[in-house]
Amino acid sequence: MNQSPPKDALPTASLPSLKARAMLLQRLRRFFDERDFFEVETPLLSRDTVVDRHLHPIQVDRHQITGQQSDTQKIVFLQTSPEFAMKRLLAAGAVAIYQICKSFRAGETGSRHNPEFTMLEWYRVGDDMEQGVQRLEDLIQTILDTKPASRISYRDAFLNATGLDPFIASIEQLAVLSKLESELDRDEHLNVILSRDVEPHLGTEAPEVLYHYPASQAALAKTKTEAGVDVAERFEIYYRGVELANGYHELLDPDELIARNENTNQQRIADGQHALPTDSRLLAAMRLGMPACAGVALGVDRLLMLAVQEDCIQNVIAFPFDRA
């Protein structure tokens, strides 16, 4: 008598969803191939890692990999995105590149998160923020067959949703909305308000690009002064309330990257997290000269969720973390 297999032995995604994933990957590659990008591969394991307040890389014991206890660096990192290595390729002369790969982030589980997920990332030398936004809009409209995207600044999105100007509102005003302790820093309040009160209104009918984040949230984007405030040349695209991609007009100054990394590590320590390495091979490549460019990172699993009208990321991944 045949016994039914254990439930966790089977995929959570249906076969039609898995076939839709295969078709989606083909279409994504075709989009970039037709625009003279070429596909690259970079390491999933690296001594370097993106230094971000809210991204927590998974650490791997380097000694177990090399078998050499004499290694000076004890750990390496599963990459939270291929950003650092792809930028090293730009510094080496690549002009238009893309990559579809697995990325890893600790502590990220939920209806839109899995610790291991599929990332699409691309860069093109010579693109500024406008060109970066336009290419992202073209991709989403092509893949999801949507209406043309709209755009709204971070400032206007907050004003529309809350009536507060995120750049000049007091901490006390933000704390009333965020319902957090007023002693927390400005960005912590803004992040909570963004996710709870602003994001659900973005891209309800067509994709919508949110741009010009506060300069304190620049990450690896350039900054500038716009309408009297310092903003980051950073942009994200939303559709039906789902954040799909994050892009930058890329920072080129290695000294500024060092300063941002050190500041981010101070925030991580204050949050009870460990500091991450601030010295990297990307810094060395930037000192040699990284060309002006724009880049975007897009979550393929979330894109697939929208394409097949699923509301949970586990339904579009064959074996999510709890069944891996």
pLDDT tens readout for residues 140-177: 999 999 999 999 999 999 999 999 999 999 999 999 99
Residue 136 CB partners (closer than 8 Å, separation 6+): 209, 235, 237, 245, 247, 296, 298
What tens digit of pLDDT does each residue of 65-79 get?
Answer: 887 776 677 899 999
**Contact, 223 vs 233, CB < 8 A?**
yes
CATH 3.30.930.10 in the chain is located at 7-149+206-323
Give the pairing type, strands 38-39 and 96-104. parallel
Domain 7-149+206-323: CATH superfamily is Bira Bifunctional Protein; Domain 2 (3.30.930.10)
- Asked whether the predicted pLDDT for residue 5 surpasses 80, the reply is no
| % of the chain exceeding 90 in pLDDT | 90
Instruction: Look at residue 89 and give its three-state secondary structure.
Output: helix
> pTM of the predicted model, to two decimals?
0.94
